[in-house]
Amino acid sequence: MIEMTVTITVMGILLAYGAPMFQKAFEQSRVDLASANLESVWTAERLYWAQNKTFAGAIVDLETAGLLDPSFLLDLSKPNAPFQYAILAADDVSFQAAATRSNSTRWTGRLTINQQGVFTGVVTGSDGSVINPAAV
């Protein structure tokens, strides 16, 4: 009986140590996907500019122009999507697109990309942990 108690205690300690690391790794994969999606928006914006000599003011404009896969917008419309995407500003010389963390009580933050492909922003956990996108 003592051996079983020791085994359960050790397993509990390992689980308590491993669970936060697993949650952070899982969130890192979400952030990496969001940065890849922002890169897709960046590419679509550059193609849109080449055709129209101005940047698109909304993601739906990029999809309507055939520059983004329609499944991208379907993923955005899911009620439990981990990130919400938007084009914050756009004119004939610049744009800024953002992925804002949503549907989480533990993680918050916003990632942005501009016309030069420069990423900014981080996602922060309630425990103070910071996750940077892989593209940065």
Q: How confident is the model at residue 19, as a pLDDT?
A: 62
Q: What is the mean pLDDT of residues 87-105?
A: 95
Residue 122 and residue 136: Cα distance in Å, rounded? 10
3-state secondary structure of 64: helix
pLDDT of residue 94: 96
Task: Give me 83's structure tokens.
Answer: 């990130």
Q: Looking at the domain assignment, is residue 11 inside a domain?
A: yes
Residue 15: pLDDT above 80?
Answer: no
Alpha helices (H) in the chain, listed in sequence order: 2-52, 59-64, 70-76
User: Is the residue at 106 inside a domain?
Assistant: yes
Q: Does 10 fall in a domain?
A: yes
Is 136 a member of any domain? no
- For the chain, how many structural domains are there in total? 1
Instruction: Note whether residue 6 is domain-resident.
Output: yes
Cross-strand pairs, 131: 123
Instruction: Please report whether residue 92 resides in a domain.
Output: yes
Model pLDDT for residues 23-77, shown as the tens digit of each residue: 888 899 999 999 999 999 999 999 999 999 999 999 989 999 999 987 777 666 6
Where do we find the tokens 């550059």? 46
**Residue 95 within a domain:** yes
Q: Classify residue 21: in a domain, yes or no.
A: yes
Verdict on whether the full-model pTM lies above 0.85: no
Query: In angstroms, what CA-CA distances link 67 with 23, 56, 89?
Result: 34, 11, 18
**Residue ranges making up the domain that contains 50:** 2-131
The residue count for the chain: 136
